[in-house]
Amino acid sequence: MDVLSDAVTALRTGRPVATTMAWRAPWGQRFATVPGAVGIQVVVRGDCWLLPEDGPPLHLDTGDVVLLTDGRGHALADDPATPLRPCANAVEREPQDDGPVRVLCAAYELNGLRTHPLLRAVPDRVHLAGGPTLRTVIELLDAELATEHSPAGIGVTALLDLLFLHTLRAWSERDGEPGALADPAVRAALDAIHADPGHPWTVAALAARGGLSRAPFAKRFAALTGRPPLSYLTWWRLTLAARLLRESDAPLRAVARRVGYGSEFAFAAAFKRHFGTAPGFFRRGT
């Protein structure tokens, strides 16, 4: 996976959920604040207004995608003046074909401590007119939701990851790569780390990937990612290890080797320093 793909998987805890909602005018739906969550609203059919808690209303047309990264409450309505009714659950079921306006609503639960440093530049609200790739993912997700009983099923989860990823890519292509990803030298080092996190990387080796000498590279890397190169490497190794522990039954020694630790003991010590709990307890959720 590339760096943005890794960032998406590092952000998520648990499974994202999604559903479609359909309305006839007049209608207004308020979505509650969910700390540490990312919301995605996609207008599948018709048009509507997005009403943020602060700021002016935003008109949305068919195919528009809105990524809401701050977990703050917002509303959708046929008109900014329409009274709103609360929606306690962003995936509360509604009749899927009972109105001319149809919206795909999705939510990610995030672990704020694991937020990827490369995505700090993503604004609180990203509004995109969906291009061909986004439209394809949206059509697949819409079809999956129509046939799958669970709004958090495996197919929905995979397609939501794709939707999140391609929304970020479309934003970065439109507004410019965020921070570190726009710098060729730092991007080359990040690509190397993410392609082979278990490799015994040194600052000099990563600097060589970017065509810089050691000191200028280290300074630039820290300025753009918020961490020195080897600190970032450790952070990513342990983030990856946490995901492997939660999402696989691989033995600890295999996880340790996968993320670059020569012994299970060294891995367990580093993991406990970082997360405050031993890998085995972390895996069991205790």
Amino acid (1-letter code) at residue 161: D
What domains lie within the chain, and their CATH numbers? Answer: 3-175 (2.60.120.280), 183-284 (1.10.10.60)
| 102-130 pLDDT, tens digit each | 999 988 776 654 567 777 778 888 899 87
Q: Which pTM does this prediction carry? A: 0.76
Q: What is the mean pLDDT of residues 71-86?
A: 91
Q: How far apart are CA 197 and CA 190, in angstroms?
A: 10
In the prediction, which pLDDT does 172 show?
Answer: 79
Residue with tokens 């659950």: 89
- Indicate whether 153 pLDDT > 70: no
Q: Which residues contact 8 (CB under 8 A, 6 or more apart)?
A: 161, 164, 165, 168
- Indicate whether 162 pLDDT > 50: yes
Q: What is the mean pLDDT of residues 52-72?
A: 89
Instruction: Locate 47 and state its tokens.
Output: 């048009």
Query: Which segment of 124-133, 254-263, 272-281 scores lowest on mean pLDDT?
Result: 124-133
